[in-house]
Amino acid sequence: MKKIVALMLSLIMVLSFTACGGNGGSADSDGPVTIKVAVQQNEDHETCKAVRRIAEKVEAETDGNVVLDIYSDSALGDYTAVFDEVRMGTIDMAVQSFSGEYDPAFEIGYLPYLFTNYDEAANVLSEGSNTYQMIEKKCDENNMVFMGYFVEGFVQVASKEFVDNMGDPNAKKTALMRCPAIESGRLAMECQGFPTVTIPYADLYTSLETGVCDGWMGGTAELNYVGFRDVIKYLYVVNQQMENNAAMINKDVFNSLSPEYQDVLKNAVLEEAAASFDRAKTTDDTNIQLLKDYGIEVVDLSQDELNALADQVRTKTWDKDFEMYGDDAKAAVYADMGWE
């Protein structure tokens, strides 16, 4: 008798758990679905604020049936580990940097001089572009659904000493520039005439302070204002790369939602992703002014100078870059630039 009772209790518990649903379960009368979302940025960052707005909109438009449970500040792990977990489905969704571990083409959005201004950036990174469609296909091949780029601002050059002829890509420069440990960034700086050195980001402030390097490439105006305004004297608006995060969701989790809820989620993400271009430009402009107010000399380059730098980098480094990114990435980028 005791065995029968125990068996019945076990069966009731199993049925109760199934009825409650879980992450990635169908959002219907069984109860709400909770989607675990990893966000790389901190709570004060514009991208994290955008994800919070997405969560509010999705919950409202699904009558509380789809809930986004957000973990900011890389709380669920480094972006490379989170990328892998979204592929596997152990984390449902992420808004963070792409990892090129499984396919280098995922990192195409960081290619130096992929664009030189916000209009060009929108042409390449917005929904419907050839590059966007290429990334959608790459995500699909890795059991994910790509949901949009969140741009965060152009990467500039900051220095302790004045750099003459910054807009002349053929002029030899003497300022020793720190570059991140990314081959494409180093090549881009060297082909513009700079000597370069690789220094870990954690050591950068001290290196600038003590003269180990004279300047650095890799930070937006915001990052230079927040983190380095006391150890730089000049900011050169060269628009070499675009900081960006990408929204991606595990394909099985996405497909488990009803078509109606899929549309709600995807549209909410796309709306915020599209708005990120204007937000990022405003953030750039605001922090450039803050740097000026703080006493940093900001050197703006003309569009002709930006084009000259871009032509130099594209001509001298892109062939090597696309050996890594692959022919499909090259074809997509060239199509978006009208080079077919």
**315-328 pLDDT, tens digit each:** 999 999 999 999 99
pLDDT at 21 over 70: no
- What is the rounded average pLDDT of the residues 10-19? 38
As a 3-state breakdown, the chain gives helix, strand, coil percent values, each rounded to 5, of 50, 20, 30
- What is the rounded average pLDDT of the residues 43-55? 96
The fraction of the chain above a pLDDT of 90, given in percent, is 88
The model's pTM is 0.88
Interacting residues of 138 by C-beta distance below 8 A, sequence separation 6+? 103, 105, 106, 146
pLDDT at 6 over 90: no
Using CA of residue 267, residue 268, residue 273, residue 274, what is the dihedral sign? positive
- What is the rounded average pLDDT of the residues 258-274? 98
State how far the Cα of 140 lies from the Cα of 104, in Å rounded to an integer.
15
Q: How far apart are the first and last CA of the chain?
A: 77
In this predicted structure, which of 7-21, 35-49, 313-327 has the lowest mean pLDDT?
7-21
Tell me, what's the pLDDT at 233? 98
State how far the alpha carbon of 41 is from the alpha carbons of 51, 68, 144, 319, in Å: 10, 16, 21, 32
The CA-CA-CA angle for residues 129, 81, 104, to 5°, reads 40
**289-305 pLDDT, tens digit each:** 999 999 999 999 999 99
Q: What is the pLDDT confidence band of residue 180, given thresholds at 50, 70 and 90? A: confident
Question: Could you give the domains of the chain?
Answer: 2-336 (3.40.190.170)
- What is the rounded average pLDDT of the residues 219-246? 97
Question: What would the two tokens of residue 161 be?
Answer: 């000493």
The fraction of the chain above a pLDDT of 70, given in percent, is 91
Are 77 and 36 a contacting pair, CB within 8 Å?
no
**63-104 pLDDT, tens digit each:** 999 999 999 999 999 999 999 999 999 999 999 999 999 999
Tell me, what's the pLDDT at 30? 67
